Structure 1
């Protein structure tokens, strides 16, 4: 699928009329325009929220992409956002990504819960609703009950059904957790930028309202399942609060995404199933 170049009127509104866009690979379809990156927005409220937070947030040891407002003060213009460009690319530095997560979530601990995280997804379902539904499936008493009420149907492919079966089995191993929820970034794997010895860079914040150790567990699940991480990664962060239960819910979350997302592929399931087996041994 050919990437869509930011329209001329969008570039003009962000003050980039005379700059030729260059496609980037690590910014969710973003285009570099000099020192600014224009990126398509999947969800307007989340994009505006992230820009507003990143405008003033300070995180120890982390470079944050700052939003660039349009000439009229907007963060989002016709489905595009603008941010300062950061040097770097994602690398398999998994422990460092977990460390970024912990520092970031110290800084976001006082942020209020955005209203859009409270709302139940409604039809027609969009991409972001899949992740909202999957997140809730990992925590609600009966996984996917709210999903069925909302009218979304899980995948019927063999790997999709296996994901649901594994999810249901893991749900019986959950125990109540006491760690309080707060605003966390729930999608750090593959989105942290590294440039040699420079501080890690972060281009966006994908908001969830969960414990910080859950967000760290999602990174570990992703790294073990698809990032080629060594098995020791699972134990190296075991001193985080309620780690076995956070890993359990992180695996359930990713299993639900796999079962629900229309672009899930059969090749992604074996790594996830292996991580689920490793997590069972923690419990």
Structure 2
């Protein structure tokens, strides 16, 4: 899905007045202007934070899109951000994506927690709030307590009700984890860009404050549920700290997103249910 083209004043502010735009399919509604991509911004604070981090972050074996500042120094102009273009597309190279996660989170371990990650979402939610709320609910001492306290509308569809039942069952299997939380990218599946034998690329960072192995577990859950990954993917990364509990929280997180997100479809549930069964077996 592509967005509307960036308006003329946004192009001019980023110095892209004379370049013909090309719509991109893998940059969240982005448009390529030569070596620069303009992308619509869903959340200004998160976009500015990501740009600031990517401006100087160095990760072994990873190409990072660097922010392109506007002529007045801003990262975001009228709901658009600019980044250097990275060649590549998402591919089902799942183990390589997990490897990217491990290297990336070694580099982000020293980053401070952004203030916006400590703030609870307020109804009515925008898209990003669904994921923030699902993340909080996953780690609640009482399952889904923060959602119900915040007035969230939980799905009443058949697959939504089945998801809630499954969440309740899985939550009883949680045990305390000791791995410290840090800044992680919680949405790497489908966002790492591959171009043949070139170093993988990454166009953005979606921040969460959770243990690094949890972010790897989300990749594995997504790949098993929807990406056609082989079942061995789950076992191949078993040496990551507290792996069974990280997988458990990753599948609970995705099930909660499924019950909350307005664009969830029944077709997404069978893969999640099957992955939940696989996770139970390693606990």
TM class by shorter-chain length? over 0.9
Instruction: Determine if the alignment matches structure 1 residue 110 to structure 2 residue 110.
Output: yes
Q: Which residue of 2 aligns with 1:11?
A: 11
Q: Which residue of 2 aligns with 1:171?
A: 171
Superposed CA offset, 1:99-120 (max 9, x none): 0000000000000000000001
Alignment partners' CA distance in 2, 1:239 and 1:269: 28
Q: Which residue of 2 aligns with 1:225?
A: 225
Q: Which residue of 2 aligns with 1:238?
A: 238
Q: Which residue of 1 aligns with 2:45?
A: 45
Q: Which residue of 2 aligns with 1:276?
A: 276
List, as ranges, runs of 4+ consecutive aligned residues in structure 1 with deviation greater than 4 Å: none
What SS is found at the alignment partner of 1:174? coil
Instruction: Determine if the alignment matches structure 1 residue 129 to structure 2 residue 129.
Output: yes
Q: Which residue of 1 aligns with 2:146?
A: 146
Pairwise CA distance, 1:59: 0.2
Structure 1 residue ranges without an equivalent (≥5): none
- 1:23 touches 1:31 (CA, 8 Å); kept in 2? yes
- 2:2 touches 2:25 (CA, 8 Å); kept in 1? no
Pairwise CA distance, 1:32: 0.3
Structure 2 residue ranges without an equivalent (≥5): none
Q: Which residue of 1 aligns with 2:58?
A: 58
What SS is found at the alignment partner of 2:282? coil
Superposed CA offset, 1:155-205 (max 9, x none): 111111111111111000000000000000000000000001100000000
Alignment partners' CA distance in 2, 1:123 and 1:21: 36
Count matched residues.
283
Alignment partners' CA distance in 2, 1:214 and 1:254: 12
Pairwise CA distance, 1:146: 1.0
TM-score, normalised to structure 2's length?
0.99
- 1:86 touches 1:201 (CA, 8 Å); kept in 2? yes
- 2:2 touches 2:24 (CA, 8 Å); kept in 1? no
Alignment partners' CA distance in 1, 2:26 and 2:226: 17
What SS is found at the alignment partner of 2:109? coil
Q: Which residue of 1 aligns with 2:69?
A: 69
Alignment partners' CA distance in 2, 1:30 and 1:168: 38
- 2:2 touches 2:28 (CA, 8 Å); kept in 1? no
Superposed CA offset, 1:195-231 (max 9, x none): 0110000000000000110000000000000000000
